[in-house]
Amino acid sequence: MFSSFMIAADKSGSGKTTLTTGIIRYLTRTGRTVAPFKCGPDYIDTLHLERASGRKAYNLDSVMLSRSTVADVFAKSCAGADAAVIEGVMGILDGVSHTDFAGSSADVASIIDVPCVLVLDCSGSSYTAAAMVRGISELAKVRMAGVVLNNIASDRHAFLVRSAVETHTDCKVLGTLPKNSEKLLGSRHLGIKTAMEVNGEYLDACADFASANVNIEDLLTLCRTTDFETATYHTAQSEKRDKTAYVAYDKAFQFYYNSNIDFLRSAGFDVRFFSPLAGEGIDGADFVYIGGGYPELYAKQLSESPTAKIIKDYAESGGRLYAECGGLMFLSGGIHTADGFFPMAGVFDCVTRMCDRRQALGYVRAELVKDCILGRAGESNIGHEFHYSAMENYSGEYAYRLTRITDGKTSQDGLIYKNTAAAYTHLHFLCDNPLIKNLII
């Protein structure tokens, strides 16, 4: 029997990642195969879910992708699994529209038809928690499998909140999380530490925490379904692999949607991973993809890596190359960090600087302002920005006009040099008419 559910919450910082990671790790330790998912554009949480399950985690994003594509990604990625566990994004109703909550966890849950488990912050309240649960349930219009009460101060506090919730709502209380419980995972400017920075002990600690405080077996029973045939779905792949794509992957560059890698394979590429930190090369590359990450943390090592010159020579020779965010920083003339300035590949005549404050966050429509290797002027895709660095000393033209989805604010992004394209904006390759197809095909 297959079970599926989403861990959602009333707000960000609720402990969704720790709880979701813990539940997935618990299920994996007890012999279940779990298909992990993350709502929205986040990369870091997805990697933790991947580590916990030992299986590729996929993003379900109803802003960048059509509803049918979200459903398709979910169905295909559940193949062979005993359970699907999805981590929500922000608060359950937080998306890009206040009218229909598009792009929210509730929106994704309705598309893939899974019940939600609501993680509710109960600090400073007792009976009012029932009103929160009822209000969220009515507005979200999704099935609520149950509630996990967070920041519970004592056994009496747990009794008061549980009694109110189960009296005034149809939601079962599946567990309580103690107040001021020790944080299992540290954070930095882009969010929690990445999966490469934690070990199996952290994952097991999450599993122990989740299983001690939440009735996971009851949760599985509540969320079982009999009409979801995962075995009938298969990820489409091209049988002909006559091209080679190199994807940068190490501690400096690790932010990728797994669907993007699948897209390359479906387009006929043999995908190989290489490490700029280790000085690895890209022999025989037909396409190179350098994603986001934390290049600023490894700036000295990257500046001394022979890969920087390899990438520079590849771009100069007309090789096809696409870089996002941290990848753009690596292709710049260098990175200003708190420890000084470190030269990079120098494909583009600009430098980047780490800033104290966030420089961009949110969904944007990236529209081409001129014909280029990515397509014709006027073509566009919805992407996502999240970065703390800024570009300096660039005097060239920009490829994109960005329009923020939530408020219409405009800006510029996108650099083009020969057959190299780079931008701070992250794109999902499964969006309708993806611009990337013009570069790789």
Does 206 participate in catalysis according to the annotation?
no
If you ran DSSP here, which 8-state letter would residue 182 be given?
P
If you ran DSSP here, which 8-state letter would residue 231 be given?
G
Tell me if 407 sits within 8 A of 398, measured CB to CB: no
**Regarding beta strands 58-60 and 34-39, do their DSSP bridges make them parallel or antiparallel, or are they unpaired?**
parallel
What tokens were used for 134?
């009822």
| Gap between the Cα atoms of 429 and 264, Å rounded | 9
Tell me if 78 sits within 8 A of 228, measured CB to CB: yes
What tokens were used for 338?
């708190």
What is the length of the chain?
441
What tokens were used for 272?
């190989």
**Regarding beta strands 360-368 and 380-387, do their DSSP bridges make them parallel or antiparallel, or are they unpaired?**
antiparallel
Task: Provide the 3-class DSSP secondary structure of residue 195.
Answer: helix
Please report which residue ranges of 78-154 form alpha helices under DSSP H: 105-112, 128-140
| Gap between the Cα atoms of 357 and 372, Å rounded | 32
Q: Which of 116, 325, 350, 372 is catalytic?
A: 325
What tokens were used for 411?
């800006």
CA atoms within 13 A on the CB side of 69: 18
Name every residue whose Cβ is closer than 8 Å to that of residue 2 and which is 6 or more positions away in sequence. 78, 81, 82, 83, 84, 224, 225, 228, 230
Closest C-alpha to 99, from 139, 60, 39: 139
Catalytic residue IDs: 325
